[in-house]
Amino acid sequence: MAVSKHSNASSFFFILMDLPGLEASHYWTAIPICLIYVLSVLGNMTIMHTVKSVSSLHTPMYIFLSMLSMADLGLSASTLPSMAIVFLLGQRMIGTATCFMQLFFIHTFSVIESAVLLAMAFDRCVAIREPLRYATILTTRRIGAIGLAVVVRSAALHLPLPVLLGRLTFPPVSALSHSYCVHPDVLRLSCSSTVVNSGFGLFVMLSTLGMDAVLILLSYVLILKTVLSIASNAERLKAFNTCISHICAVLLFYSPLVSLSMIHRFGKKKLPALVYMLLSYLHFLMPPVLNPIVYSVKTKEIRVHILKMLHLKKH
């Protein structure tokens, strides 16, 4: 019996992409990937443990930092399974349910991270513009409500994605552009109309990542306005220095994301496939690794506690 040209969502598979030109070197490419994940887990767990252990860090700024570490761990865990299968075992085929579940968690944790970065920008804005009201505005109860709203918004907006994808038809076997599933990459392989899916995906992106980016920018406009109004240069530098770590985290997260979104929206005709894959890896792999390093280096309280931990272990 001949195989039908197109299949519904219950009978097709995706082929995950290996690094172009390195398909035969699975074990060698697995080493840096696994190292990145180990560093991500250790770094973010250290940040969370430090904030929990040191009572002086039980403030809104560091609670939000713990939320960022949790989002980083979730983002890493969402991409690890398929990447480990591709790079360690050389197995590139993934089923429908697994792929759709993975893209749901990848996009959900990505939006959670974006929302936490917005909450951290709001925290810095309040701390610099309203220092006397800081403790009364950002109470523990309000921080908990913000955290709950972040998770609910992200999960609720992305729940329809697997459902809408399940209504489309695809070739029996389709090759993805990455070693994990993301919505734009899966969507481009569909044989049926994707108007509804594309429209909803664009709405989700603009109402989450897009809106968050605009509000973060607005927060820093207000912060900059306040900082420039401070007469003392030393105080001005001190106030702005509290934002440096957050600015680095924002740039780490949004720079590859914006580039990747533009690539998926407007095609890939000029650059080699490896460039697009590495850009995607930068977005999903680098922030979870570099965020703990940035905050450890730039935040004295965290740096001191980590050094104390290392000193105690030596003795």
pTM: 0.89
* Residue percentage of the chain with pLDDT more than 90: 47
Residue 155 pLDDT exceeds 90: yes
Helices (H), ranges, 191-299: 195-205, 211-228, 233-241, 244-266, 273-298
| Overall average pLDDT of the 36-48 stretch | 92
Mean per-residue pLDDT of the chain? 85
Instruction: Report residue 273 as tokens.
Output: 């496939």
Residue 302 pLDDT exceeds 80: yes
Q: How far apart are CA 19 and CA 87, in angstroms?
A: 9
**Beta bridge pairs of residue 13:** 95, 173
- What is the model's pLDDT at position 15? 87
Residue 301 pLDDT exceeds 90: no
Residue 1 pLDDT exceeds 50: no
pLDDT interval class at 121 (50, 70, 90)? very high
Tell how many helices (H) and how many strands (E) occur in the chain.
13, 3
- What is the model's pLDDT at position 25? 66
pLDDT interval class at 2 (50, 70, 90)? very low
55-73 tens-digit pLDDT? 888 999 999 999 999 999 9
246-290 tens-digit pLDDT? 999 999 999 887 776 666 566 555 666 677 777 778 888 889 999
CB 201 within 8 A of CB 184: yes
CB 82 within 8 A of CB 181: yes
| Overall average pLDDT of the 74-91 stretch | 84
Q: How far apart are CA 236 and CA 234, in angstroms?
A: 5
Residue 218 pLDDT exceeds 90: yes
- What is the model's pLDDT at position 315? 53
